[in-house]
Amino acid sequence: MEPSNLHIFFIPFMAPGHMNPLIDMARLFAAQGVKCTIITTPLNASRYQSIINQETQSGLYIRTQTIQFPPSSQTQLPENCENVDLLPSRDLTPNFAKATTLLQAQTDDLVRAHLPDAVISDLNLPWTAEIARKYDIPRITFHGTCCFALSVTISVNHFMPHANITSDSEPFLVPGLPDPVYVTKAQLPIRSMKNMGLHEFFQQVREADKKTLSAVVNSFDGLEPDYIKHYEKLTGKKVWTIGPVSFVNKDFASKSIRGNKSAIDEHQCIAWLDSKKPKSVLYVCFGSLCYFPKSQLFEIGSGLEESGCPFIWVIKDVDNGLPDGFEERVEGRGLIIKGWAPQVMILSHESVGGFMTHCGWNSVMESVSLGIPMITWPLFAEQFYNERFVLDNVKTGVGIGVERGFEWGEEDLVGVLVSKEQVKDVVTRFMSDGDEAIKQIKNLASKLGEMARSAVQEGGSSYVNLGLLIEDLLSKKKEKLDRI
């Protein structure tokens, strides 16, 4: 049986950090000849449809099937809130989680009509496990993070090493891992997200994951070999590492339109980058779901201004806390993008020499894949785990010095976590050429980028793993046909 005999449904969770890698993943499968169908809502489909159209025109079988997002009367959400990054308030997160569960019936209808050979579903859509079981279809879970963070999460939940710790800032050892890993109570995902009211939802996610035989991860074997094996041992699941998936974006067009419509003209952005010296620009972006109080934005802006370094800073809100006259004073040296930025395109440019990041796993992987060293500033969820991986395991970054995150929905109550002096000092040191420790970090980042590129090339580990996964699904299809 050939890959063209295989039809896979890809079902992403509606948040940029989950959608973008799964869409890239579908494109990777399609490039191998697999028939791929992406299931999502109309508004979310509009974000990536142009790139899917390009793939279709090149001869690949990749399609989108839309399902309707539930009406406001059922969700108590404003109209057109079909993605987490469109929620006007963090308080509506539980409503959004509930709304995603209401997509089950429509998805069930599509599965029944098309009977795909497999479903690759985001972890945060647990009801897809029930559909897959109902139609005897293999379900593969997509994890939006790495095996290191997944392993730490399991150990924290199992051993509860923080149970008798009274201080939020006292580091404790997470037992049962291949390496010594230390975190604090303030850095645990449950702390930053305790106000979301999603305990029942996350329990459903965990139960559905237990019923899934394998997982696909945006990572590669050479990046975290011990933790890939450790996670497989802990869960009994086969882990397919096929990343970095962002490498599927090879040309200017795909890099510039990936994820959403850019808030800046792509050619204008490239022209600005072209005017800068190689490795001189710091790219500053904290992801599509970050929210900073105005007091913290003021400190970031002041620190970047006083550093004297060229920078691109992506901010979410047009109504922000930037210092008065900030944009005028940094004009030419600093480029402010208000809204969605073509991140892969920017990071791919030779003038970019560093990335100040929230440590969302997609951003980490995009940095790793392009050999870009990082300034780490985690905010919530498993981002502090990812920071530990960057700083202690692969050693391709320096920390901004933040010791706790923002609690989801209560960011304004926390205020300033990092001062302008910290921002200035870390940026100045990081972007200079004189610090030997920073030189070592940059050298390691460059070598890791070479490893990442090798992984996705023909014969590389991720390329081979993708082929093996396709073979495994073809084998399961043949077994099913033989039973019939």
Q: Which residues are tagged catalytic?
A: 18, 122
Sign of CA dihedral 8, 244, 268, 303: positive
3-state secondary structure of 184: coil
Contact 37, 381 (CB under 8 A): no
**Three state DSSP letters for the chain:** CCHHHCEEEEECCCCHHHHHHHHHHHHHHHHCCCEEEEEECHHHHHHHHHHHHHHHHCCCCEEEEECCCCCHHHHCCCCCCCCHHHCCCHHHHHHHHHHHHCCHHHHHHHHHHHCCCEEEEECCCCHHHHHHHHCCCCEEEEECCCHHHHHHHHHHHHHCCCCCCCCCCCCEEECCCCCCEEECHHHCHHHHCHHHCCHHHHHHHHHHHHCCCEEEECCCCCCCHHHHHHHHHHHCCEEEECCCHHHHCCCHHHHHHCCCCCCCCHHHHHHHHHCCCCCCEEEEECCCCCCCCHHHHHHHHHHHHHHCCCEEEEECCCCCCCCCCHHHHCECCEEEEECCCCHHHHHCCCCEEEEEECCCHHHHHHHHHCCCCEEECCCCCCHHHHHHHHHHHHCCEEECCCCCCCCCCCHHHHCCCCCHHHHHHHHHHHHCCCCHHHHHHHHHHHHHHHHHHHHHCCCCHHHHHHHHHHHHHHHHHHHHHHHC
- In the chain, the amino acid numbered 47 is R
For residue 321, how far is the Cα from the chain centroid?
26
Residues 45, 366: Cα–Cα separation, whole Å: 23
Please measure the distance between the N-terminal and C-terminal CA atoms of the chain and give it in whole angstroms.
17
Strands (E), 82-236: 118-122, 139-143, 172-174, 181-183, 214-217
Q: What is the total residue count of the chain? A: 484
